[in-house]
Chain A
Amino acid sequence: MNLSVLTDYLPEWLAPSVATFCLHLLLLFLLLSRWESSDSDRVIQARKITPEIINAKLVSIDEFRARPTPKAAPRQPAKTQPAAPRKQAAPAPSKPAPAPESKPLAKKKPAETGRSEPAPAPAKKPAPRLDADALAELSRRQLSESMAAESAAEVAVTAEEMAASYAALIQRAVIGYWSRPPSARNGMEVLLSVQLIPSGDVISVSVVKSSGNVAFDRSAINAVERAGSFPELRNLPIREFEKSFRRFRLLFRPEDLRY
Chain B
Amino acid sequence: MKDLPVAGKALTLLFTAAFLVACSGTDTQQQEEAAAAAAAAEAAAAQQAREAEQAAAREAAAARQAAAEERRLEQAVAAAGSTFYFDFDSSTLTTEARQALDAHIALLRTNDEEVRLEGHTDERGTRDYNMALGERRANSVRDYMVVNGIPSYRIETVSYGEEKPVAYGSGEENWSQNRRVELSRQ
Q: Decide if A and B touch, CB cutoff 8 A.
A: no
Q: Please give the residue numbers on chain B whose beta carbons come within 8 Å of chain A beta carbons, in ascending order.
A: none
Q: Please give the residue numbers on chain A whose beta carbons come within 8 Å of chain B beta carbons, in ascending order.
A: none
